[in-house]
């Protein structure tokens, strides 16, 4: 199987991109691939599940359903450390299944993955 990296830079202001990123990550995971979703810039706000629960695409797809699937099935969700710190989000505030990552880790993962950006 392959490894897929989904880099998301958008937050609640762009629900279509947010939901599609997680939808495609879910599809890849369902097909048995290794999946990493890396949240940067305003996407780090999605680690507040209260925000994530309210995000829906125009098609009615809900972010939280894809998020929960990825966490339950062992997908990796990483959040950019400096992006989180700049938005006053600390490691203790991250929900289950989310880990802190660095730019160096992102590049290392990208070097071994098929990369999608949203």
pLDDT digits (tens, 9 = 90+) for 20-40: 999 999 999 999 999 999 999
What is the model's pLDDT at position 13?
97
- Please tell me the total count of domains within the chain: 1
* Chain length of the chain: 118
HSE-up of residue 51 (Cα within 13 Å, Cβ side): 15
Q: Residue 107 CB: number of other CB atoms within 10 A?
A: 9
What is the model's pLDDT at position 80?
98
Say which CATH number the domain at 101 has.
3.40.1260.10
| First-to-final CA distance of the chain | 23
Domain of 34, in residue numbers: 3-117
pLDDT digits (tens, 9 = 90+) for 63-104: 999 999 999 999 999 999 999 999 999 999 999 999 999 999
pLDDT, average across residues 42-70: 97
């Amino acid at each position: 199987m392959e490894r897929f990296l989904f880099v998301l830079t958008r937050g609640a202001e762009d629900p279509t991109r947010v939901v599609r990123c997680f939808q495609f990550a879910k599809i890849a995971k369902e097909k048995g691939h290794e999946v990493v979703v890396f949240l940067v810039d305003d996407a780090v706000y999605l680690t507040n599940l209260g925000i994530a629960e309210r995000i829906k695409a125009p098609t009615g797809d809900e972010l939280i359903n894809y998020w929960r699937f990825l966490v339950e099935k062992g997908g990796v969700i990483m959040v950019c450390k400096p992006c989180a710190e700049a938005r006053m989000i600390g490691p203790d505030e991250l929900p289950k299944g989310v880990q802190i990552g660095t730019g160096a880790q992102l590049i290392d993962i990208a070097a071994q993955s098929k990369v999608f950006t949203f």
